[in-house]
Amino acid sequence: MTITTPKGFRAAGVAAGIKKSGGRDVVVVVNDGPSAAAAAVFTSNRCEAHPVTWSRRILEDGVASAVVLNSGGANCFTGAFGAETTELTANRAAELLQLQPSDVIVCSTGLIGSGDEKFRQGVLTGVKLAVAELADDETAAQHAADGILTTDSVAKTALREGTGYSIGAIAKGAGMLAPGLATMLVVITTDADLESAQLDTALREATRLSFDRVDSDGAMSTNDTVALLASGASGTAADEGEFTSLLVDLCQDLARQLQADAEGASHDITITTTGAATEDEAVAVSRAVSRSNLFKTAIFGNDPNWGRVLAAIGTTDAQFVPQQIDVSMNGVMVCRAGTPDAPVDTVDLTPRKTAVLIDLHAGDATASILTNDLTHDYVHENSAYSS
């Protein structure tokens, strides 16, 4: 199990007719306590969806007892109707669960600009159906993981066991994977007894080292939400260091699952920059390469064109001397000190997992970015997304 493994949590995922493709599309996750501590990290896209605006506001007090999620519609740029739909969703869940609306996080994912009366009624009906099916077993957890998927091909789940407590999670995301946050929704539950401020600190560190470093296609979503709820039902006041370490590991696991399910991808690429003056500069260099369409198409064609790597590095403000940069691809150093090294025909780029290692020789900092190649399938899928 995942989100229902920690004590004090129930979940459900139901089909309410929102998604054109059918299947489960409304999910409810409930924290039965005794604690209702919560934290969340949201997209940094200034054009944020109505559920993000709602959830950001209601979490200012660090308290939440439920999360309602829908797939099949982003409820973004849907005007006053969309804002009202979000509030009605929270009200419906609160009424059925005997909570306050201000204790209900709302999340949506799907096509931006879609949201009509049929969508609203689907969400509200789905909430009622889901509340009626809430359970703490494995089936309920799986239904919840399935209910948040859109273009995903598989559900993403993770579980970690701490000293006297556990952390479980479900996630969705296959496109628009770029920070802030990698469209991506994540619900994390734990029965550790921690205050909301502790959860917030741990979650921000975890997202910094995981979801913020998935940059599959350079497109930032309007709806990204990572919510962390703590029930305290284990009675264990978790060590903050251990909890943060486990949370980082869990989120990195989910980030790799997001990368592996990226729309149309044929390569999962890890770009690691070492020898940087600072961690931020290592991130900037790896990200610049990850966003180079020339580099991404070369990898799709199994072409170790390392010149495109150096060209992308040169667009950053990182400290380096171009004539000192080394580049390796899948373990073969193709560029040493800014000049050709091993023959490019010795590099095998046919495996799906691809590793690019950059050494700037400018310091001791290291950071990696997870990305994917740019394929015909990606272009086709996203050219027909709203049709």
Q: Whose CA is closest to 157, among 173, 170, 146?
A: 170
Question: Does residue 217 share a domain with residue 326?
Answer: no
Residue tagged active-site, from 43, 85, 183, 375: 183
How far is the first Cα of the chain from the last one, in angstroms, to the nearest whole number?
36
User: What is the pLDDT at residue 221?
Assistant: 86
Question: Does residue 273 share a domain with residue 254?
Answer: no
Determine whether the annotation assigns residue 297 to a binding site: no
Q: Could you report the average pLDDT of every consecutive run of 10 residues in the chain (387 residues)?
A: 95 95 95 98 92 97 98 94 97 98 96 89 98 97 95 92 98 66 81 98 96 86 94 97 98 94 90 98 97 95 97 98 98 98 96 97 98 86 64
Which one-letter DSSP state was computed for residue 101?
G
Q: In the annotation, is 183 catalytic?
A: yes
- Any domain includes 333: yes
User: What is the pLDDT at residue 182?
Assistant: 41
Domain that holds residue 21: 9-260
Q: Whose CA is closest to 130, among 28, 2, 30, 24?
A: 28
Q: Of 203, 235, 260, which one is at a domain's C-terminal end?
A: 260
Question: Does residue 285 share a domain with residue 252?
Answer: no
Determine whether the annotation assigns residue 372 to a binding site: no
- Any domain includes 1: no
- Any domain includes 3: no
User: What is the pLDDT at residue 177?
Assistant: 52
- Any domain includes 354: yes
User: What is the pLDDT at residue 125?
Assistant: 98
From the CB of residue 62, how many other CB atoms can be counted at a distance below 10 Å? 16
| Distance between CA atoms of residues 20 and 22, nearest Å | 5
Determine whether the annotation assigns residue 75 to a binding site: no
Question: Does residue 272 share a domain with residue 298?
Answer: yes
Determine whether the annotation assigns residue 150 to a binding site: yes
Question: Does residue 210 share a domain with residue 338?
Answer: no
Question: Does residue 178 share a domain with residue 47?
Answer: yes
- Any domain includes 144: yes
- Any domain includes 4: no
Domains held by the chain: number: 2
Question: Does residue 46 share a domain with residue 132?
Answer: yes
What residue type is 7 in one-letter code? K
User: The domain that contains 183 carries what CATH number?
Assistant: 3.60.70.12
Determine whether the annotation assigns residue 263 to a binding site: yes
- Any domain includes 15: yes
Q: Of 242, 260, 278, which one is at a domain's C-terminal end?
A: 260
Give alpha helix (H) positions in 59-116: 79-97
Question: Does residue 303 share a domain with residue 247?
Answer: no
- Any domain includes 370: yes
Question: Does residue 290 share a domain with residue 247?
Answer: no
User: What is the pLDDT at residue 378?
Assistant: 81
| Total residues belonging to the chain | 387
Question: Does residue 308 share a domain with residue 246?
Answer: no
User: What is the pLDDT at residue 123?
Assistant: 97
309's tokens? 């790597």
Question: Does residue 177 share a domain with residue 41?
Answer: yes
User: The domain that contains 339 carries what CATH number?
Assistant: 3.10.20.340
Q: Of 260, 279, 311, which one is at a domain's C-terminal end?
A: 260
Phi and psi, residue 167, nearest 5°: -130, 125
Question: Does residue 244 share a domain with residue 354?
Answer: no
